[in-house]
Amino acid sequence: MQVVTHYLKWLFGLASPETQTSEAERACLARHAAGRRRLVEIGVWHGVTTVHLRSVMHPDGVLFAVDPFPRGRLGVSFQRLIARSEVVRVQNGAVRWMRVTGLEAARLYAAATRDPIDFIFIDGDHSYEGLRDDWLSWSRLVAPDGIVALHDSRATPDRPISEAGSVRFTDEVIRRDRRFVVVDETETVTVLRRSKCER
């Protein structure tokens, strides 16, 4: 009932949308998403970072908001209700909601368009296998000079998460991917840019 209680408090203005990103991490994402035209966010939750991304992207941009939003015991996703209500308040660009996993979203996206993306924030399944699936399916869809931002991808003194699957996959695979170079790190967020000329 904690989810329902929070939803009711949010509905009456007594609680804010929840997020696991910090203010510094959101500022980092906003810097790299500014002016981008084709963006993807995997893992929306309450839409806090979605709001930030939509606020700074190009006015003609499109943001694909990916989250399966599982239904709870009452047959509804209160997280989805909050996210959609928060994001609609920002009048900039367009948002396309994809109520599927990151892996399935990549399949649908690739089948529907050949347009590469120029910014993606991966904040979905933080297990080793979950990030592996998101990375393998989405990294090939990133345009040259495009940005990939990863949440919970590095440990910090405040968040000693070095054993997390997302951190291990980032260290073992993503940082060694010759198509990409690390361009920024803020708290647990790692930002990479796809090389124009891949080595």
Pairing of strands 189-194, 180-186: antiparallel
111-116 mean pLDDT: 91
Cα 68–Cα 148–Cα 37 angle in degrees, nearest 5: 85
Strand partners, 3: none
Higher pLDDT, 79 or 114: 79
How many distinct structural domains can be found in the chain?
1
Does residue 53 belong to any structural domain of this protein?
A: yes
CATH code, domain carrying 54? 3.40.50.150
Please tell me the predicted confidence (pLDDT) of residue 73. Answer: 86
Q: What is the pLDDT of residues 19-37, one digit of tens each?
A: 999 999 999 999 999 999 9
Domain-embedded: residue 6: no
Q: What is the pLDDT of residues 133-156, one digit of tens each?
A: 999 999 999 999 999 999 999 999
Say how far apart CA 73 and CA 50 lie, in whole Å. 26
- State yes or no: pLDDT of 100 exceeds 60: yes
Residue 4 lies in a domain: no
pTM above 0.75, yes or no: yes
Whether residue 14 lies inside any domain: the answer is: no
Domain that holds residue 188: 21-194
113 falls in which pLDDT band (50, 70, 90)? confident
